[in-house]
Amino acid sequence: MSPTLQDNDSNMTVVVKNGSSPKPDAHSPPIILYPSVNQANLNLKTSQYLFNFGTKFSRDIIVGSRGLYIYTSTGRKVLDWTSGQMSCLLGHGHPEIVSVIAQHAASLDHLFSGMVSPPVLNLAERLCSLLPSSLSKAFFLSTGGESNEAAIKMAKVYTGKFEIVGVGGSWHGVTAQALGAQYHFGRKGQGPLMPGMHMLPPPNAYRNTGLFLTKEGGYDWERELDYGWQMVDHASCGSLAACIVECVQSSAGMHVLPEGYLTALKKHCERRGMLLIVDEAQTGIGRCGSIAAFQEMDATPDILTLSKTLGNGLPLSAVVTSDEIARVCEERDYCFYTTHVNDPLPAAVGDKVLEIVVRDGLVEHSRRMGEVLHAGLKKLQSRYGCIGDVRGRGLMAGVEIVECKEAKTPGLEVARRVGDRAYELGLWANLSTHPSFGGSFRIAPPITITKEELDEGLEILEEAFKSTEGTMPLY
């Protein structure tokens, strides 16, 4: 008998059938772990027991997930266009990932941190073999913030200096050094942050201030970057260690670094004896149409951090650097010793993720599906005046909502209504109405997405814009 979802508020019962195959594919309906829940009661428990860590909790209780879909306690099936928290690169419940988790949970899960296991060695070898030869030494942690914390400490130990430069609009985590180099949100309310932290202007081609324009009226990001470094040099006490940057600034609204920006940034670092750290939490492992986004930007970082996508939703991150940096740091007693460093179970998952991405040609698939996604979003932009900008790379896209196209006034309320309507129709696309996000949808579906699933989501978005007041239809 198939399990059911029971919503005790609406008295609606929805049947969700199990996959009939013993090895269901990643898009088949899930086996619901919580087939009958009282949503009102669980919402009460949410307010009673859960600490609010900086976000509003959704009213819907999620009781299942499979492939590109999540299932709610009210029996709704919702297309997940954010891969959970931008992490489920291969979709929810991928059968090969499930198998690896089960096998290692039973036989090789967690070890003393100084012990080495085959999954860790396999992941390190496979990962380094996919990157430029200068990125040849890796170790594995749990979260993106943790990997950035480790990378910043590595840069400080290697250079013997302590000042870190970040970029406006960035998001690198909430641990001390990562947060200190983060200039999007979360810096207030805790007193002084880490000393020696500096900020470059955010590279925002859509919302550039007008102070940095080319003779033709375009965005002169190079002059803006030079100006930013002049300000850093004025503020610095002469101990610049590293600069950390994202290739696509997701939390800022999916802003892609301008062509040539990363190369110029690397040169600025080299002139000052600094290291370049590239944070590819969301852009890594194929989502932007290359294994790592920096590979198409003509500059290789001194330290690379990966997270989110590497573990397909499990807590797994990586720090990758050169033989030379690894050698010097070891000589200087670099220490980032954690309980779950190089754990075998998540490492086995990461190794399987890389195997599947390469084996199934998902990097190229992501590039092709990205073209479909961006073409569809551009078409929506041509139809609705509230869409001020569409940007991104591969299967990462930002859709910025405005009240006035000419003034580019952020349309936070319109964006909220469109987002709510899309979710009501069966599509989840990440949107924050906090002013710091500027009313931008952040879209990053699993890279296993099919054209049919892309078309389904685009049709839902079309209906959401069509049926929402204030979207300014153009025809």
| Catalytic choice (156, 393, 421, 442) | 442
| Active-site annotation holds for 420 | no
Q: Which of 146, 149, 279, 343 is catalytic?
A: 279
Query: Is 343 one of the catalytic residues?
Result: no
- Using CA of residue 168, residue 172, residue 176, residue 181, what is the dihedral sign? negative
Is 401 within 8 Å of 414 (Cβ atoms)?
yes
Q: What is the DSSP string of 198-244?
A: EEEPP--SSS--SSSB-TTSSB-HHHHHHHHHHHHHHH--S-EEEEE
- The backbone torsions φ and ψ at residue 141, rounded to the nearest 5 degrees and listed phi first, read -125, -155
Quote the CA–CA distance of 172 and 165 in Å, as a whole number: 12
Q: Please, are residues 4 and 13 in contact by the beta-carbon 8 Å criterion?
A: yes
Q: How many residues does the chain have?
A: 475
Catalytic option among 7, 246, 351, 453: 246
The DSSP symbol for 183 reads B
Name the strand (E) or helix (H) holding 301: none
CA distance 90 to 84: 11
* φ and ψ of 127, to 5 deg: -65, -50
Looking up tokens 């130990």 gives 157
Active site residue 279: yes
Q: Is 295 a catalytic residue?
A: no
| Residue 188 is a catalytic residue | no
Instruction: Given the residues 177, 249, 282, 381, select the one marked as catalytic.
Output: 282
414-421: long-range contacts (C-beta < 8 A, 24 or more apart)?
414/386, 414/439, 414/468, 414/470, 414/471, 415/439, 415/440, 415/441, 417/468, 417/469, 417/470, 418/386, 418/464, 418/465, 418/468, 418/471, 419/464, 421/463, 421/464, 421/467, 421/468
- Residue among 308, 367, 391, 393 flagged as catalytic: 308
Judge contact between 143 and 173, C-beta under 8 A: yes
CA 174/CA 143 separation, integer angstroms: 10
Residue 383: CB atoms within 10 A of its CB come to 16
Check if the beta carbon of residue 193 is closer than 8 Å to that of residue 164. no
Residue carrying structure tokens 């030494």? 137
Confirm whether 246 is a catalytic residue: yes
Choice among 80, 146, 156, 171 that is catalytic:
171
Under a CB-based contact definition with an 8 Å cutoff, are residues 268 and 232 in contact?
no
Residue numbers annotated as active site: 171, 246, 279, 282, 308, 442
